[in-house]
Structure 1
Amino acid sequence: MSLAPRAVLVHRRTEYQELLARHGTHGQASFFLGGRGRSIDDVLARHDRAEQAVRAVAAAVPLTWRQARVERADLERFLFGPEDVVVVVGQDGLVANVAKYLDGQPVVGVDADPGRNPGVLVRHRCADAAALLRAAVSPAASVDALTMVEAVADDTQRLRALNEVFVGPPGHQTARYRLSGGGPDEAQASSGVLIGTGTGATGWLRSLWLQRGGVGPLPAPCDPRLSWFVREAWPSPATGTSRVAGVLDRGQSLRLVVESDRLVAFGDGVESDAIELTWGQSIRVGVASASLRLVV
């Protein structure tokens, strides 16, 4: 007998909850914000909308299903099952936060505060949750298979990301490395290398693309290819700048060999979950074998 589907509601603490955790009471939080020219009323209103959205989605889960909730800070300790339907209630970035912990489970993105989010990944409203949950477990479910990027170090450390992977210095120092893959090897000194997907092409990746004059199209979210850019490559007698941008198709990878004391690689801006690299180590970045199945 197969298990009933489980709806896993993913959410994050609101600004109001974070203020209470820091200041203890509503009054103290209000005093803190008031001293900085802000009103707690707006913060509380957003909190109420977020809480109402989570309650509405929870109420839409079929009675025969199981249900669980997980806060963003606890994602790395939560065990997702193959029968799960993941419902992200919040902002677009929360979908990226959960993506690397999944293995093919369908994801429904629900916008908790319409009008404040772009809605690229949280495309739906709370009122649509019941229909979307039923559709997610249907064999004919309509999903977008969003390409992900994966980085694998030579010591088997690995990470996946929905938007981009950054490889570079942990602070503001210069990263030194040897770059290879898709062309001749080149020793480089730069602020790091960004390798991103079509989903990430609306954010950090796009800013680098625009700095390069917008030459060549960026990938679409479902395209099985990545774009990469070197940030602020420095020319010197020992380092070059001839390879500062490119495209990686499925099966191709960009390889960096570390030639400085310490580099890090992290995905989707989460520096706390980084791969640590040191002298002589290498890392390969390419299209991940898994994709994010976003219910449309």
Structure 2
Amino acid sequence: MTLAPRVVLVHRRTEYEELLATHGSRGQAAFFLAARDRSLDEVEQRHRRTLAALAEVAGAIPLDWRRSRVERADLDRFLFAPQDVVVVVGQDGLVANAAKYLSGQPVIGIDADPGRNAGGLVQHRPAEVAELLRVATAATAAAHLTERTMVEAVADDTQRLLALNEIYVGQRGHQTARYRLTAPGAAAEAQASSGILVGTGTGATGWCHSAWLERQSTLRLPEPSAPAVGWFVREAWPSPVTGTSQVQGLFDASEQLALTVESDRLVAFGDGVESDALQLSWGQTVRIRVAAQRLRLLS
């Protein structure tokens, strides 16, 4: 007997829910925001829009299909099945948060609050979900899926990290990091900087784009589906023992960037999630490369 498809609904707590969890009551939350010249009414309105979007999406799932829900904080403990259809309701960043835990499942991004998100990853509205689920489970689904490149960091002690946008390597507090960098086709160089960013085409509109702008770089950053990544050294510092000749570049799936730690401790984290980081100690080497895993996004 063939099991009915399972839809996994991914969401995160709203700002309103986080305020209530922190302050204990609506009145205390309102007082806290008022002291910062903000109104709880606007936060509550966005909360209601998100709940309405979640309800509409849940209502669009066929009654004979299986379903499950997972909050962002629980993604690292949730077991996705190969046949799942993943529906992410929220911001673009929530798709990136979920991507690292997937293994090829189709993803549908739903914008819960149009006008507040860039919409690059949450491209659809709740009213479209019924049709999107039909497309995602059809035999022709592959024709409607866009595969986006991901990046991975692998340490020499087998620690591994995946990211959809970018990976940062440096000090946890973004102070000066010391390391030896080996870029594709170049000799190793000792450097002191505020860290390194390695980003995909999806991340080229975010943190890496900021580094690209500040440097007035002429690099042509990759497209989201291109099997290539760009990298930038942030605020490299020249000294008698550290250089600045290797501060940016591109490499493809056949190459990698290697970094050997020359500080007491560095970290590597992906997509801005500092709580899920590789811990790197003196002498360890981490290699960053295009990941074999890709995000399959229903467009």
TM-score class normalised by the smaller sequence: over 0.9
Query: Which runs of 4 or more aligned residues in structure 1 lie more than 4 Å from their structure 2 counterparts after TM superposition?
Result: none
Q: 2:55 matched to which residue of 1?
A: 55
1:66 and 2:69 equivalent? no
TM-score normalized by structure 1?
0.98
Per-residue deviation, 1:238: 1.0
1:251 and 2:254 equivalent? yes
Q: Deviations over 1:208-266 (max 9, x none)?
A: 11122130211110011000011111111111111101111012100001111111000
AA partner of residue 151 (structure 1) = A
Q: Deviations over 1:179-225 (max 9, x none)?
A: 11311111111111100000000000001111221302111100110
AA partner of residue 215 (structure 1) = T
Q: Is the 8 A contact 1:4 1:83 kept in 2?
A: no
Q: 1:260 matched to which residue of 2?
A: 263
Q: 1:179 matched to which residue of 2?
A: 181
Q: 1:34 matched to which residue of 2?
A: 34
Q: Deviations over 1:12-59 (max 9, x none)?
A: 101111111112222222222223322211111100000000000000
Q: 2:121 matched to which residue of 1?
A: 121
CA distance in 1, matches of 2:112, 2:87: 11
CA distance in 1, matches of 2:214, 2:30: 41
AA partner of residue 40 (structure 2) = I
Q: Deviations over 1:142-197 (max 9, x none)?
A: 01100000000000000100000001111243111111131111111111110000
Q: 1:241 matched to which residue of 2?
A: 244
CA distance in 2, matches of 1:65, 1:286: 38
AA partner of residue 180 (structure 1) = T
SS of equivalent residue, structure 2 residue 10: strand
Stretches of structure 1 that go unaligned for 5 or more consecutive residues are none
User: What is the total number of aligned residue pairs between the two structures?
Assistant: 296
Q: 1:92 matched to which residue of 2?
A: 92
Relative distance call for 1:172 and 1:145 in structure 2 (3 A) is: closer
Q: 1:148 matched to which residue of 2?
A: 150
Q: 1:163 matched to which residue of 2?
A: 165
CA distance in 1, matches of 2:165, 2:104: 17
TM-score normalized by structure 2?
0.97
Q: Is the 8 A contact 2:86 2:108 kept in 1?
A: yes
Q: 2:211 matched to which residue of 1?
A: 208
CA distance in 2, matches of 1:129, 1:92: 17
